[in-house]
Amino acid sequence: MSQRFSRESRCLKTSRVFPTDVNNHNTLFGGKLMSYIDDIASIAATKHCRQTVVTASTDSVDFLSPIRPTDAVSLEAFVTWTGRSSMEVFVKVIKEELLTGARSIAATSFLTFVALDENRKPIEVPDVVPETEEEQKLHETAPQRAEMRRLRRQESKQFADYLTVTHPWD
């Protein structure tokens, strides 16, 4: 199987925070940020494998500090680890106070994507080769996250057996 460097999947997105993007706390609405995260992560995954991809899971979104209307929000995404047909994508969210230039990490996220062929069946993806210290650290710690994902998925399937699918008004 072929290989690709993490940098080959790297992509960036910067957005301004408008009044319509904030919640009742006057901070960026979490759902809006999650939409940005899924969007840029899907681009990174597609760039890595050059195939159609589907989000298999949003493994985590950790909101670390609020993003306000005086901030710009920048997202950086790249593939950190690959399985046979799956890819782990890391998204780093940086807020920048536009008037001062002060920057900080506002959120981090890990998502998993699966590459699909023209019949929507999983297809092999290239291995990922980390280069920078950040990429190497994320790559080294990925098997632990993959195991946690596997266990969480197994628990979710078991939990789903207890859930009903009838409407409350039935």
Instruction: Quick: pLDDT tens for 14-29.
Output: 999 999 999 999 999 9
Element (H, E) at 57: strand 52-63
Residue 1, pLDDT above cutoff 80:
no
CATH superfamily entry for domain 3-160: Hotdog Thioesterase (3.10.129.10)
Q: How far is CA 82 from the centre of its chain?
A: 14
Residue 168: pLDDT band by 50, 70, 90 thresholds? confident
**CB contact at 8 A, 73 and 95:** yes
- Reported as a single tens digit per residue, the pLDDT across 22-57 is 999 999 999 999 999 999 999 999 999 999 999 999
Task: Indicate the domain borders of the chain.
Answer: 3-160
> What whole-number distance in Å separates Cα of residue 165 and Cα of residue 149?
25
